Structure 1
Amino acid sequence: MQNFSYYLRLSLHNIKRAPLPYALTLMILSIGLGVFFSNATLYYWMNRDPLSEQSHMLFFPRINAVEQACDSCLTPLRVLSYKDVQKLSSSAIPSAQAGMFQSGGYARVPNTQNGPTPVTIRVTQRDFFTLFNAPFLHGQTWADNEARMELILHYNAALKFFGRTDVLGQQLLLDGELYTIVGVLENWQMLPKLYDVNNGLAITPVEEIYLPWETAYNLGIKSNSTTQSRDSRNYNENFAVNGREGEFYQAQFWVRLDTPAQQAAYRQFMDNLVASEKEAGRHPRPNGNLLHNMLDIAEAFNERNRQLDAFAMVSVLFLLVCLFNASHLSLNRYMASQFEFSLRRALGASRLQLQGQLLTDVLVNGVLAFILALLFAVLMLLLINQLLPATSALNNWQPGLILLMFGVALLASYLVTVYPAWRASYSPLNQQLKA
């Protein structure tokens, strides 16, 4: 500890003796790390596994069920109709399954002076909360998948409308319809939101209100993200019937298949389903059954954010350039102190002691660079959010991520310092003393 204290004082003394070269080296290193940290944060959140304990068991089935014949249409639509969801959920193979889509509306507390507030809505079925580990703070999900005038609030929505979370039994007006609150979720977020990657929704916060699937069809509630109609029906009229019976595509459908045997059995179920539909004169298109795992869904739907990938690659290259330049400046600074290294060696300092001084320099540089890099990273994230507004939900630094960033800062500081220090301390001693 005494040696470390001495090495620390010596490092600070060297900084004070040549503050401008050191500040320039530190600034270049910090800018490179800051740009890298900002882009690495976005890349981490976009490519992480949000449900590592069960993502390998979650699947999105797709069938080529459009009733218009098309021999060249080999790939199913990315959204399903009400009839598709009904057919795909007729199997008892999955341990959980739910149809869903995102919508929007205006909500307010009845008998108050507050006006309607825009909200995001997830129309879904009861197994949604099991599939995606959405934990309840109060209450529970619906007893079944029948239509009911009940809804579930997210933690943030409960605070927004009531100022508290224990609101079971309270009522909420949603687009003019009165609902009873039967559950409140914890402050839960899923990033990326892989259960709905259409139109960039994967990097948006989870919804504020959860509404029963059958209720939404009864009331004519439609998706506000992706909808397609493949027939001549007027879906603005009698949606309770037309939305269920027609070729109106807006839903996602997820199943949980716990074992490879279940996955194989469900694929066989899909094949049998399509075969029976073809025998009945439906499903005229080629068999294009697909079963996507959750971690592959963004790639399968071509919804991977290529801009963030490009930013990540550029940030790595920029960091390498900054490391090279900072190392060059550091070499000049250490070579200027070469005589001091030689004198310490002549007075009996061992190579281990010189390495101790080197590691202390690395620690000091790493800590200072890490602090400055975080400041640059915040500025970069604000700039990226202006260029790509949808990334605003990804600006979250968890303790583990910050610790990893600190490790990267120490490694970068070591790479910048190790060669200059080696050149200064391990060149021939007699040559240095003569100089």
Structure 2
Amino acid sequence: MFGYYCNLALRSFRRNRMLTALMVLAIALGIGASMTTLTVFHVLSGDPIPGKSDRLFHVQLDPEPMTGYMAGGEPSRNMTRFDSETLLHEARGKRQAFMTGGFVALEPEGGTPYFTDARYTTGAFFPMFDAPLAFGRGWSAQNDADAARVAVISAETNQKVFGGGDSTGKTLRIDGNAFQVIGVLAPWRPTPRFWDLNLDGFETLESVFVPFSAAMDAELSRMGSMSCWGDSSGIDSNARNAPCAWLQYWVELDSPGDAAAYRDYLLAYSEQQRQAGRFVRPANVRLRDVRAHLDHAQIVPGDVRLQVWLAFGFLLVCLVNTVGLLLAKSLRRASEIGVRRSLGASRKAIFAQFVVEAGAIGVAGGIAGLVVALFGLWAVRQAPSTYAELARLDPAMLLTTFVLSIAATLLAGLLPAWRATQVMPAIQLKSN
């Protein structure tokens, strides 16, 4: 029977080509606009490290003075160097790493120096964040302790500076300092770049990674947020005991269930520091996993969320118009429905026929909507925003396009299909 209903739908479309085209166009525009904005939202709100995001936690303490204190207020996203190095040394998690951003000059051999982003971190960064290495390795805890002049570079930097291939063992000059390349990352772009949301989370990966201790020893240029308090004039804000928060601290736990015990450890640490006179505020800590950290930071731009709601509102308008067109079409076919009913077709069969027709319009609208969505995403990629180039339709969103199109038109077709079943065959035959 399904094949028979499809045949009837095809005949109906041929008889009412203009009306069918209007319905397909309405669905295509609604689906295209919705999928364009939904795809952008999907890309920006995705899990940057699936399978591990519930075991990676961002740590926040509150070492600031009582000035401006509000009970239960949100502490700084950043940590002091003293607290970061102390927690790293105590090593209460499976892995832990702290870091900050940098902006350095790379000097290719025989090439023109150029400025690029860097990350100063500790050796556990690479296994913690599942950084894929194409060549070589990351550095060890001993390298951290020795302030070893070693570096791991991105695939793009490897191609630009060394022409690609295995460049481990080669020398890279960073801000005039010689560093030995010990690792080359495979192409990798976590979206968003969640480990430091003080910077743009949708920028490309940092070009070079070096040990934090070596960066401080070489006095490499730093980039990122820093807040200081008290009498910090005349002191080195990067010093271990400086009253400044500027480092991001992450810990990996064996399981999500270990978070409560680690939070208790942070509370105890805060109380210990308060008794020592370093902290003056009551213990106030935060421990959020990756998804909670991103949600709290509201990483998805507000205009993207608004565009999603507007697009689905537009889709609703398109569906209302489609319902009206389907109703008009069913009314025009009252005599045909009356003849079919008089020949023995049940109301259920009439209902199924019109639902199949609506589904066929949904398929056609989905195909046309896909074209509209692809054009819309192309337009988004022309925008100057850092996330624009990420706006691409993946297989999941491609499937969603057709599912949404068919589901929407089936929903829109329910009222016209029910209306068609209410046609009285006797009245239609009499009027003919």
For normalisation by structure 2, the TM-score amounts to 0.87
What are the within-5 Å matches in structure 2 for residues 270-289 of structure 1? 270-289=266-285
**CA-to-aligned-CA distance 1:310-333 (integer Å, 9 cap, x gap):** 222222222212211111112212
CA deviations on 1:238-274 (whole Å, 9 max, x unpaired) are: x7xx433423432110001224663333223222322
Q: CA separation of 1:434/1:164 partners in 2, compared to 1, >3 Å: closer, same or farther? A: farther
- Distance of aligned partners of 1:262 and 1:433 in 2 relative to their CA distance in 1, 3 Å threshold: same
Number of aligned residue pairs: 424
- 1:233/1:246 contact within 8 Å kept: no
1-side partners of 2:108 and 2:77: how far apart?
A: 36
Deviation, structure 1 residue 352: 6.2
1:149 corresponding residue in structure 2: 149
2:190 corresponds to which letter in structure 1? M
**Match among 265, 272, 278 for residue 269 of structure 1:** 265
Listed as ranges, the matches of 1:111-122 within 5 Å are: 111=110, 114-122=111-119
2:52 to 47, 54, 62: 54
350-359 vs 95-104, which moves further: 350-359
Task: Report the CA distance shift for 1:261/1:417 in structure 2 as closer, same or farther (over 3 A).
Answer: closer
CA distance in 2, matches of 1:166, 1:364: 54
Q: Does 1:12 align with 2:10?
A: yes
Matched position secondary structure for 1:390: coil
Report if aligned partners of 1:341, 1:424 keep a CA contact under 8 Å in 2.
Answer: yes
Q: Is the 8 A contact 1:25 1:329 kept in 2?
A: yes
Q: How far apart in 1 are the matches of 2:363 and 2:45?
A: 28
Alpha carbons of structure 1 residues 364 and 261: separation in structure 2 relative to 1, 3 Å? closer
Rounded to whole Å, the distance in 1 between the matches of 2:188 and 2:69 is: 43
- 1: CA distance between counterparts of 2:338 and 2:53? 59
Q: How does 1:380-395 map to 2 (within 5 A)?
A: 380-381=376-377, 389-395=385-391
Change (3 A) 1:334 1:93: same
1:137 corresponds in structure 2 to 134
Given residue 116 of structure 1, which amino acid in structure 2 is its aligned partner? Answer: P
Equivalent residues of 2:28, 2:366 under 8 A apart:
yes
Per-residue CA distance 1:116-143 (angstroms, 9 max, x = gap):
3443322222211222222222222112
Match for 1:43: what amino acid? F
Q: Which residue of 1 aligns with 2:325?
A: 329
Matches within 5 A, 1:312-391: 312-349=308-345, 354=350, 357-358=353-354, 360-381=356-377, 389-391=385-387
Change (3 A) 1:374 1:177: farther
TM-score (norm: length of structure 1): 0.86
- Checking the alignment, whether the CA contact within 8 Å between 1:71 and 1:286 is kept in structure 2 is no
| Superimposed CA distance per residue, residues 126-165 of structure 1 (whole angstroms, 9 cap, x where no aligned partner) | 2112222222222221122232222222333333444434
Q: Secondary structure at the match of 2:173?
A: strand
Q: Is the 8 A contact 1:155 1:184 kept in 2?
A: yes
Residues 21-100 of structure 1: matches in 2 within 5 Å? 21-66=19-64, 68-70=65-67, 72=69, 74-100=73-99
- Offset at 1:392? 1.2
Question: Structure 1 pair 398/233, CA: closer, same or farther in 2 (3 Å)?
Answer: farther
SS of the counterpart of 1:415?
helix
CA separation in 1, counterparts of 2:23 and 2:228?
A: 60
- In structure 1, the residue matched to 2:302 is 306
Counterpart CA distance in 1 for 2:324 and 2:58 is: 52
Instruction: Write the letter of the residue equivalent to 1:79.
Output: N
Say whether 1:252 aligns with 2:251: no
C-alpha change, 1:266 and 1:319, in structure 2 (3 Å) is: same
The answer to whether the 8 Å contact 1:198/1:226 transfers is yes
Measure, in 1, the Cα distance between the counterparts of 2:156 and 2:359.
Answer: 41
Deviations 1:8-55 (A, max 9, x none): 454333333222222222222111112211221122233333333222
- Measured in 1, the distance between the counterparts of 2:26 and 2:234 equals 63
Q: 1:429 to 1:383 in 2, by over 3 A?
A: same
Shift of 1:86: 0.7
Q: Secondary structure at the match of 2:406?
A: helix
**Paired residues of 1:338 and 1:425 also in contact (CA < 8 A):** no
Q: Distance in 2 between matches of 1:434 and 1:388?
A: 66
**CA displacement, residues 162-220 of structure 1 (integer Å, 9 cap, x when unaligned):** 44343322333333333332222232222233222225x23333323222211221222
Deviations 1:375-402 (A, max 9, x none): 3334444555677713315413221221
The residue aligned with 1:411 is 407
The one-letter amino acid of 1:316's match is: F
Q: Secondary structure at the match of 1:56?
A: coil
Aligned residues of 1:78 and 1:301 also touching (Cα < 8 A)? no
Deviations 1:42-89 (A, max 9, x none): 2223333333322222211211123x4437255422212221211222
The answer to whether the 8 A contact 1:109-1:172 is kept is yes
Shift of the 118–360 alpha-carbon distance from structure 1 to 2, 3 Å rule, reads farther
Tell me, yes or no, if the aligned pair for 2:194 and 2:201 is still in contact at 8 Å: yes
